[in-house]
Amino acid sequence: MTERKPDFVATIPWHDAKVSTLAIWCSDCRFQQQFDQFLRAGLGAEAFDKIAVPGGPQFLLDDDRPKLGWAGRRWLRFLVEHHEIKTVVCIGHEDCGWYKDLTGGALGREALNDAVKADLARMPEAIRADLPQVEVRPFFASIARVPGPVVIFEAIA
Ligand SMILES: [Zn+2]
């Protein structure tokens, strides 16, 4: 019996990392590398768990779509409890297509950003209601045009 040749071999070594951070962020492809860099270089989390879905942690507040909230909370609880997560980093971003869809395209750019930031500000309470043992750190990512374009992050209190 011949062993099947792999279709691809990753050059990044696998390692069994112990994590204490979970990131919940939007899956928008335009921001993935910057979010990843922010967690590693900005917050010092070399390894972390991740839930990347449209709108990021918005599912935690979405009473209109309870199935999304249920699934998201199930994943969140699983990761926090099984990996002994201590910190949950929530990232929302400028020009989020999920929020545009939720609002039917009715909001301008600033109002849309304000809606994302307002939701991020509610994340500590929304998460710690079920999981009081974790610290929740919400951040908003925006696009700076000068000297840009670059992605910048601000903590949301
Ligand atoms: Zn988005």
Domain ranges (residues) in the chain? 21-155
Which pLDDT belongs to residue 81?
Answer: 96
C-alpha distances in Å from residue 124, one per residue of 31, 74, 130, 134, 153: 23, 17, 10, 9, 18
Please, are residues 22 and 56 in contact by the beta-carbon 8 Å criterion? no
31 Cα–ligand 1 center, Å: 9
Question: N- to C-terminal Cα distance for the chain?
Answer: 60
Ligand 1 centroid–CA 14 distance in Å is 29
Does the structure show a pLDDT above 70 at 1? no
Q: Which helix (H) or strand (E) holds 114?
A: helix 109-121
Going from the Cα of 103 to the center of ligand 1, the distance in angstroms, rounded, reads 13
- Span from the CA of 35 to the centroid of ligand 1 (angstroms): 12
Separation CA 4–CA 20 (nearest Å)? 36
What is the rounded CA–CA span in Å between residue 75 and residue 94?
25
User: What is the band of 15 on the pLDDT scale with cuts at 50, 70, 90?
Assistant: confident
pLDDT tens per residue across span 30-64: 999 999 999 999 999 989 999 999 999 999 997 77
Nearest to 56 by CA among 146, 156, 148: 156
61 C-alpha to ligand 1 centroid (Å): 15
What rounded mean pLDDT belongs to the chain?
Answer: 94
Q: How confident is the model at residue 76 (pLDDT cuts 50, 70, 90)?
A: very high
Percent of the chain exceeding pLDDT 90 equals: 84
CA of 55 to the centre of ligand 1 (A): 5
Distance separating alpha carbons of residues 95 and 39, to the nearest angstrom: 21
Instruction: Give dist(CA 5, CA 3) in Å, integer.
Output: 6
Read off the pLDDT band of 86 (50, 70, 90). Answer: very high
CA 26 – ligand 1 centroid, Å: 5
Peptide bond into 147 cis (omega under 30): yes
CATH code reported for the domain at 21-155: 3.40.1050.10
